[in-house]
Amino acid sequence: MKKLLYISLGCLTFGLGTIGIFLPILPTTIFYILTAFFWMRSSEYLYTKFIESAYYQKYIQESIIERKITPLGRVKLFSMLFVIFALPCILVRNPFMTATLAIVFLLHFVGLNLYFNKKNLTSLKEANEE
């Protein structure tokens, strides 16, 4: 029963992630990470097929794990984060919520830039040591 539930949830998150490739409001990356999580716990076959797929390689392996995100990719990422955080502020006029979401957005902005730049700093240090 648990295996069937994980396979079903994996199929759902895979579908939503794939739709997110074409609809910018849906976050592809998080749905693909959830797909890998569910299928890893339920079906070795589905998990292996998924991590070998071109979509996984492009949206998870290269951009998140290997930190090979292009400047345009960063602009898209932060633009979508801004839209996602700005919509509730526009729809619900609450100063406390707006301030909280602004702080969370800034933390995402700083944290993700540090994460993506960490590889560049490591590469520079290794080049200087040689």
Q: DSSP states of 43-73 as a string?
A: -HHHHHHHHTSHHHIIIIIIIIIS----HHH
Residue range(s) defining the domain that contains residue 43: 1-66
**Max CA separation in the chain (angstroms):** 56
pLDDT of 122: 56
d(CA 107, CA 124) in angstroms, rounded, equals: 25
With a cut of 90, say whether residue 113 has pLDDT above it: no
With a cut of 80, say whether residue 110 has pLDDT above it: yes
Residue 15 DSSP symbol: H
Question: Are 60 and 106 in a shared domain?
Answer: no
Residue 41 DSSP symbol: T
Question: Are 39 and 78 in a shared domain?
Answer: no
Question: Are 40 and 99 in a shared domain?
Answer: no
pLDDT of 42: 92
> Which tens digit of pLDDT belongs to each residue from 23-79?
877 778 888 888 999 999 998 999 999 889 888 888 788 877 888 888 887 888 888
**Final residue before a domain boundary, out of 66, 81, 99:** 66
Of residues 120 and 105, the one with the higher pLDDT is 105
Q: What is the mean pLDDT of residues 85-111?
A: 90
